[in-house]
Amino acid sequence: MAQLSIPDIIDLGDISTPLALNYQADGSLFGPRKTYTAATTIATVTDALRWNWAGFPDITEVRATATISIDTIGDEGQTITVYINDPIQGNISLGTYTISASDTTIDLTAANLAAELALNSYGYVITNVNNVITIEAPEGLGALINGISPNCVITDVYFISTELDEVIITQNNLNLITQ
């Protein structure tokens, strides 16, 4: 006999509840039954299963994906932060990576950024092939997240003067503006 599916078990529970009541009612004619709470117990467990199944159905959900491509190596010290405006959890940061001297290729930068993003606690699954990072939405979001793109914010380490005629000197790896 094949393994019963969860919907099958819920159906069995729905059928068993009135049967248990009948069994109990028979007791008034043929003597007390073993347990008088069987119908309530079956109904309770069946509803618990039904409600959980409604909220978290174990179906093959096509989870939405988005990709990020690293196309240039960038500069040491630059940070890349990936944000997603999650329809449930709000605008969240999946993680931040700081480019280091060892990021000598775009593939290395992508792999290191992907490793950082993979630590997110929001259920997003991160994979990486060459310079492309794929972000898979958490279970249960379904089509809610369709059309929402990750937002990559790249922050430079340098303080950039808005007054371009200022003299720029370098101290401690920061470009400072002399006034």
Partner 1 sequence: MPFSQNFTVAQTSANPAFVIITDTSTGSDGAIDSRRIYITDCFGNYIVPSGTTTNYIDWPLVDNPISLNILTQDTAANIRVEWLDASNNILYELNNNYCFSEFNKQFLYYLIQLQSQTYNIIQDNNYWGNVGIFWTNIIGAINSVEIGDDIFASQACLNRATNMAQNQAYFF
Q: Please report how close the Cβ of residue 157 comes to partner 1 at its closest, in angstroms.
A: 33
For the four alpha carbons of 133, 83, 91 and 89, in that order, the dihedral sign comes to positive
Q: Which residue, among 29, 61, 72, has the nearest Cα to 144 in the 3D structure?
A: 61
> Which of 107, 136 has the CB closer to partner 1?
136
Binding site for partner 1 (CB under 8 A): 37, 40-41, 43-45, 47-49, 51-52, 54-56, 87-90, 138-141, 144
38: amino acid identity, one letter:
A
In which element (H, E) is residue 171 found? strand 168-171
Report the distance separating Cα 57 and Cα 7, nearest Å. Answer: 10
Which residues, other chains included, contact 78 with Cβ-Cβ below 8 Å and sequence gap of 6+? 98, 99, 154, 155, 156, 157
Report the distance separating Cα 138 and Cα 90, nearest Å. Answer: 13
On the CB side of 135, CA atoms within 13 Å amount to: 30
Q: Please report how close the Cβ of residue 1 comes to partner 1 at its closest, in angstroms.
A: 22
> Which of 88, 153 has the CB closer to partner 1?
88
> Which of 86, 116 has the CB closer to partner 1?
86
Q: Please report how close the Cβ of residue 39 comes to partner 1 at its closest, in angstroms.
A: 10
> Which of 41, 102 has the CB closer to partner 1?
41
> Which of 56, 159 has the CB closer to partner 1?
56
Q: Please report how close the Cβ of residue 111 comes to partner 1 at its closest, in angstroms.
A: 30
Q: Please report how close the Cβ of residue 45 comes to partner 1 at its closest, in angstroms.
A: 6
